[in-house]
Amino acid sequence: MSFPSWLSQLYRGLSRPIRRTTQPIWGSLYRSLVQSSQRRNPEFSSFAVRTNTCGELRSSHLGQEVTLCGWIQYRRQNTFLVLRDFHGLVQVVIPQDESAASVRKILCEAPVESVVQVSGTVISRPAGQENPKMPTGEIEIKVKTAELLNACKKLPFEIKDFMKKTEALRLQYRYLDLRSFQMQYNLRLRSQMVMKMREYLCNLHGFVDIETPTLFKRTPGGAKEFLVPSREPGKFYSLPQSPQQFKQLLMVGGLDRYFQVARCYRDEGSRPDRQPEFTQIDIEMSFVDQTGIQSLIEGLLQYSWPNDKDPVVVPFPTVTFTEALATYGTDKPDTRFGMKIIDISDVFRNTEIGFLQDALSKPHGTVKAICIPEGAKYLKRKDIESIRKFAADHFNQEILPVFLNANRNWNSPVANFIMESQRLELIRLMDTQEEDVVLLTAGEHNKACSLLGKLRLECADLLETRGMVLRDPTLFSFLWVVDFPLFLPKEENPRELESAHHPFTAPHPSDIHLLYTEPKKARSQHYDLVLNGNEIGGGSIRIHNAELQHYILATLLKEDVKMLSHLLQALDYGAPPHGGIALGLDRLICLVTGSPSIRDVIAFPKSFRGHDLMSNAPDSIPSEELKPYHIRVSWPTDSKAERAH
C-alpha cells in the first residue's frame, strides 16, 4: 500500500465520531504505513536523535532499547502517557518506583503538548489491555530516562480536529493548527502528489524543471499585479501573475519541454477562497497541439492520483464552451448530477403568458427550463419565493415554477395559463416525474442559461441540505471545455475588445480570417480543465508568429506593444509552435482532500482580506526606510476632521 493510501485511511478514521480518548482515532490507520515504510518508504529516523518514530513500534520490536521524541498527547492518572509524532501514537508507562522519581516528575508535571524525549524498552502490554484499534496497541514503552525538551504553555485551543475553532484563530496560531491530524494529512498528501508529478514529467517525459524570475515588469491585461519598488526613482518591478512570458521565451530558447511548481501573485483584493499568492503546476511544450497537451495532463493526473481514490479514467470527456453554457449555464459545469438546461421554446410558441410571449417575439429570445427532481417534496413555498427574488434581483429575469400537480403552483397564477398539451409536452421533453418541479425562464439565450446555471447549483445545495444525495462526494468528474471565444467585449466599453483569457492565445485555425472581419466571432485554442464544477487548470496553444501577435495586441486590443517588445522580438527569431497549461495546485489538492477551503491545503495562507494574521502582514514601514525607494505615503484624508475645522 502506498503512502497516500494510509494517509487517506487516516483521514477517514479522523472523520469518525470521537470517543472519550484519542486512541481510537488512530485505529488501524498506521498499520499499513509501517508495513509500507519497511518496504519502500524513506528512513524516518535518519540523522535524528531518536531511534524510532512513535507510530512504527510493534511486537516484533519487543526487548529493543529505543529513544522516542514527540509531543505529549494526553496523560492518564499519572500512570500512562501517550506520545505523538507525525507517524503515530505510542503508550509510555510512567515509572512509579522511588528510584525513578526524577523521570516520574518530568512525565507527570510536563503540560500536554510539551515536547519530550524518552528512552526505554519495548514491552508487551498486560494481557487484556491491548488496544486493537491502535497500530502500536500491543506494546508500550517502559521508560528508563526522560528529558523535557520544551514545556508547553496554556494553548489558545486544543490540538484536536473535533474542537471548534474559528478560522481567524487557526490562522493566528497556524503553527499549532499544523499539528492537527487533518492539516498533517493535507500537506503530506500534497507533497506526495507533487513528487509523483515531478517523476512523471521529468523522468518519464523529459521535461526540464526551470525556475523563472519573481521580480518582473508590469504587463498589460489580466489580473492586477503587485508592484515592488526599486531604488531607481519612479521605477518598479512587478510580481508575475504567472510565468506566461518566460515559459514562451524558454520555448524560443529551445528548451522544448518546461515545467515548474510556480509561485504566482495576483492583487485581487478580498475574494472568497482566493489567495494573493498561490501555486501552479506550470507546463509548456514545443511542437505540440491541443490534443497533445490534454493527453499529457490526463496521464499526469492518472499517474499522481492517490491510490486510495478511485482510479482516474481517461480520456476525459470534452464539451465546447457553447455546449457547456447551453447545457449547464456555466463554462465550469459540475457534471456529477443532471438537472440540465433544456430549450423549450417550441412548446410555448402559442402561449398566452406575457413574459414568454414577449421574449419569443425578439430575434434571439428563447424559453429555457431545468427540472428539480422531487422539488415538490423538498422545496418549500419560501424557497420558491427566494428563487424568484434571486432571478429578479441579479438577472432582472422572471422565473416561472411549474409543478406537475397544478394545485401546487404556489404564488404563480400565470401557471394556470399553461395548456394541458404544453404540460404534457414539458413532461415528455424534460422526462419529469410526478414530484418534480420545472423552473422556467425566458429571454436572451446567454442570460437565460446563466440564470438557470446559477439556480441549478443553488437548488442542488438546497436539496442536499434537505437530505437528498445528488453529488457523490467520492466521485471525481473531470471535463475539458474547449473552443472558447478569443475575445470578449469590455465591460466598461462594449465596443472595445479584451482577451477572453490572455493576449498570447492562438486563434482557432478555422477562424483566423475572422480576426480581420469579425473578431468577436473568432474562437480560440484555449482549453480549461474542470473538476466537479471547479476550474483546476487552463491553457492554450500560443501565437508563435510575431506579425499576428503584433496585430492582435496593437490593432484589436489597443495595447502598448512597447511593453512586450522583448516577446515580439523573440517570436521573430525562429519561435517554434508551442502550447501549455497551468494546473491550480491549491484548488486540485483542496478537491482531492475534500477540504472546505484552499486555505486548508496551504501551510501558511492569507486571510479572506489577504492578511497574514500570524505575523500581521502587510505592515507599515517607517518613512526613513522608504526614502531610498523615493516613495512617500499619502494617507487617506480624514473627512470628519476636515469638517470639524
Q: Same domain for 134 and 222?
A: no
Q: pLDDT by residue (tens digit) across 445-496?
A: 999 999 999 999 999 999 999 999 999 999 999 999 999 999 999 988 999 9
pLDDT at 130 over 80: yes
Supply the CATH number for residue 455's domain: 3.30.1360.30
How crowded is residue 166: how many other Cβ atoms within 10 Å of its Cβ?
9
Q: Same domain for 407 and 531?
A: no
Q: Same domain for 189 and 314?
A: yes
504 within a domain of the structure (yes/no): yes
Supply the CATH number for residue 76's domain: 2.40.50.140
49 within a domain of the structure (yes/no): no
Mean pLDDT of 60-79: 97
Mean pLDDT of 280-309: 97
Task: Show the domain range for 112.
Answer: 59-150
Strand duo 478-482 + 318-320: pairing:
parallel
For residue 422, the model assigns a pLDDT of: 87
Average pLDDT, the chain: 90
Q: Same domain for 262 and 145?
A: no
Find residue 119's DSSP bridge partners.
Answer: 67, 145
Q: pLDDT by residue (tens digit) across 536-572?
A: 999 999 999 999 999 999 999 999 999 999 999 999 9
Confidence of residue 423 (pLDDT cuts 50, 70, 90): confident
- Alpha carbons 388 and 398: distance in angstroms, whole number: 7
The phi, psi pair for 541, rounded to 5°, reads: -80, 135
323 within a domain of the structure (yes/no): no
Residue 299: which residues within 8 A CB-CB, separation 6 or more? 200, 314
pLDDT at 528 over 90: yes
623 within a domain of the structure (yes/no): no
Q: Same domain for 272 and 235?
A: yes
Among 445, 466, 487, the domain-final residue is 466
Q: Same domain for 526 and 456?
A: no
For residue 31, the model assigns a pLDDT of: 39
Helices (H), ranges, 329-444: 354-360, 375-378, 381-395, 420-430
83 within a domain of the structure (yes/no): yes
Name the residue among 248, 261, 254 with its Cα closest to residue 210: 261
Three-class secondary structure of residue 616 per DSSP: coil
- Contact between 212 and 251 (Cβ < 8 Å): no
**Share of residues in the chain with pLDDT > 90 (%):** 80
Q: Same domain for 455 and 507?
A: no
Name the residue among 223, 280, 277, 165 with its Cα closest to residue 607: 277
DSSP assignment of 542-600 equals BP--HHHHHIIIIIIS---GGGGHHHHHHHTTTPPPEEEEEEEHHHHHHHHHT-SSGGG
For residue 355, the model assigns a pLDDT of: 87
What is the number of domains present in the chain?
A: 3
38 within a domain of the structure (yes/no): no
Among 466, 499, 528, the domain-final residue is 466
Q: Same domain for 498 and 569?
A: yes
Confidence of residue 500 (pLDDT cuts 50, 70, 90): very high
Confidence of residue 596 (pLDDT cuts 50, 70, 90): very high
Confidence of residue 40 (pLDDT cuts 50, 70, 90): low
Which helix (DSSP H) or strand (DSSP E) does residue 2 occupy? none
For residue 415, the model assigns a pLDDT of: 66
Which helix (DSSP H) or strand (DSSP E) does residue 56 occupy? none
Q: Same domain for 448 and 341?
A: yes
513 within a domain of the structure (yes/no): yes
Q: Same domain for 381 and 302?
A: no
Q: pLDDT by residue (tens digit) across 362-408?
A: 988 999 999 999 999 999 989 999 999 999 999 999 999 988 765 55
The phi, psi pair for 476, rounded to 5°, reads: -115, 110
Q: Same domain for 377 and 493?
A: no
DSSP assignment of 245-276 equals HHHHHHHHTT--EEEEEEEEE----S-TT--S
Q: Where are the beta strands (DSSP E) in 45-157?
A: 65-76, 80-85, 88-93, 115-124, 139-150
Q: Same domain for 462 and 345?
A: yes
**Share of residues in the chain with pLDDT > 70 (%):** 90
Q: All 3 cell numbers of residue 372?
A: 428539480
Supply the CATH number for residue 309's domain: 3.30.930.10
pLDDT at 511 over 70: yes
Three-class secondary structure of residue 335 per DSSP: coil
Confidence of residue 429 (pLDDT cuts 50, 70, 90): very high
130 within a domain of the structure (yes/no): yes
Q: All 3 cell numbers of residue 15?
A: 472523520
The residue count of the chain comes to: 645
Name the residue among 226, 308, 277, 293 with its Cα closest to residue 586: 277
The letter for the amino acid at 554 is A
pLDDT at 242 over 50: yes
DSSP assignment of 508-548 equals PGGGGGGGGT-GGG-BBSEEEEEETTEEEEEEEEBP--HHH
pLDDT at 5 over 80: no
For residue 35, the model assigns a pLDDT of: 40
